[in-house]
Amino acid sequence: MVDIKKISTEQRNNLTKNMDISSTLEILKMINNEDKKVPLAIEAVLPEIAELVDAVAETLANGGRLFYIGAGTSGRLGVLDASECVPTFGVPSDMVIGIIAGTDKALRLPVEGAEDDMEAAIKDLQAYNLSSKDFVVGIAASGRTPYVVSGCRYARSIGAKTAGVTTSYKTELSANVDYPIEAVTGPEPLTGSTRMKSGTAQKLILNMISTTAMVKLGKVYENLMIDVQMSNKKLESRAVSIVKEVTGVTDDVAQANLQKYGSVKQSIFAIISKIESIDEINRILDMHHGNIREAIKYTLKAEE
């Protein structure tokens, strides 16, 4: 048996003990008041998250991959963040990968014993040919989930960089990774239900990791998603809006450039640099690793 009394996320919350005899509004206020503590818990570990993000960005810049690995809610959040990187930042689907204990079936249905299967974590990572070039982020509210700890131990053993995102103190996961993140959110409003404050904290931290790493990789100009994939009508409209916002051109000009070049980044660079050749545009962008600010500086300097 697991001694859950030692796990902070399993403790009783004295502020919500009357939940079952409270009014609907009172219950909502209880949950809301507890949720307010989440950003403060994350704020306390921002320096550690910054170190982790810099290491992730370096890994991705050098051709490595970012893996999230978790079970239950933690696993679902990792898969969610990974899958959203593709349309948001236009990265290949194998750059950021989410792995959940029990396979993708566990995204919708609980898989009995999956989080306790230590061998499965190793096999799941080996299926992706994990190497020392990659980065594995283990996600576990308790910081003890055997599947997650085992996966991170294996990753570390082959030279991959590792991190752990937990909402508990001094955990086993933290002791087995290079970059431990412990955003301690305290007892849940509903005892042990880590899909609540713990899940919220994990979601916010994963947002920070992927978004900031992509910013550092040149996937963002100012605060605009210049590598967004135009995969639906809304995103097509967003692409037009971004090109207009940055360059000041009309709808028609923005649309014409997007049709010609097929991407927001290339369209913006073409308009500002006045370079029309797609080969030349790609050459200069590649020279600056896709960083549009640096590419524009290079072009303007060349004109002087």
- CA distance linking residue 96 with residue 67, whole number of Å: 6
Sorted by where each starts, the structural domains of the chain and their CATH numbers stand as: 4-216 (3.40.50.10490), 220-303 (1.10.8.1080)
Asked whether the predicted pLDDT for residue 51 surpasses 90, the reply is yes
Other residues' Cβ atoms within 10 Å of the Cβ of residue 249 = 18
State the DSSP code for 227: T
Contact 128, 66 (CB under 8 A): no
> Residue 142 class from Cβ within 10 Å (0-12 exposed, 13-18 middle, 19+ buried)?
buried
Under 8 Å CB-to-CB from 31, ≥6 apart: which residues? 16, 189, 196
- Tokens 């576990």 map to which residue? 140
**pLDDT digit string, tens, across residues 229-242:** 898 999 999 999 99
SS3 per-residue string spanning 88-149: HHCCCCCCEEEEECCCHHHHCCCCCCHHHCHHHHHHHHHCCCCCCCCEEEEECCCCCCHHHH
pLDDT digits (tens, 9 = 90+) for 236-259: 999 999 999 999 999 999 999 999
* Residue 4 predicted with pLDDT over 70: no
Residue 248: the pLDDT is: 95
pLDDT, tens digit, for every residue of 136-177? Answer: 999 999 999 999 999 999 999 999 999 999 999 999 999 999
Q: Is 304 among the residues known to form the active site? A: no
pLDDT in tens, 102-135: 999 999 998 888 999 999 999 999 999 999 999 9
What is residue 5's DSSP assignment? G
**Per annotation, catalytic residue among 10, 34, 115, 188:** 115
Quickly list H helices, 217-287.
233-247, 251-261, 264-273, 278-287
Q: How confident is the model at residue 303 (pLDDT cuts 50, 70, 90)?
A: low
Q: Is the pTM of this model over 0.85?
A: yes
Confidence of residue 1 (pLDDT cuts 50, 70, 90): low
Q: Write down the catalytic residue from 51, 84, 245, 294.
A: 84
**Residue 112 and residue 124: Cα distance in Å, rounded?**
17
Phi-psi region of 248 (alpha: psi -120 to 50; beta: other; left: phi over 0): left
% residues pLDDT > 90 (the chain): 89
- For residue range 267-280, what is the model confidence (pLDDT) as tens digits? 999 999 999 999 99
Instruction: Give the pLDDT confidence score for residue 110 in this predicted structure.
Output: 86
Give the model's confidence band at 300: pLDDT under 50 very low, under 70 low, under 90 confident, else very high. confident
Residue 84: active-site member: yes
Cβ-contact 101, 77 below 8 angstroms: no
The 10 Å Cβ neighbour count of residue 175 is 11
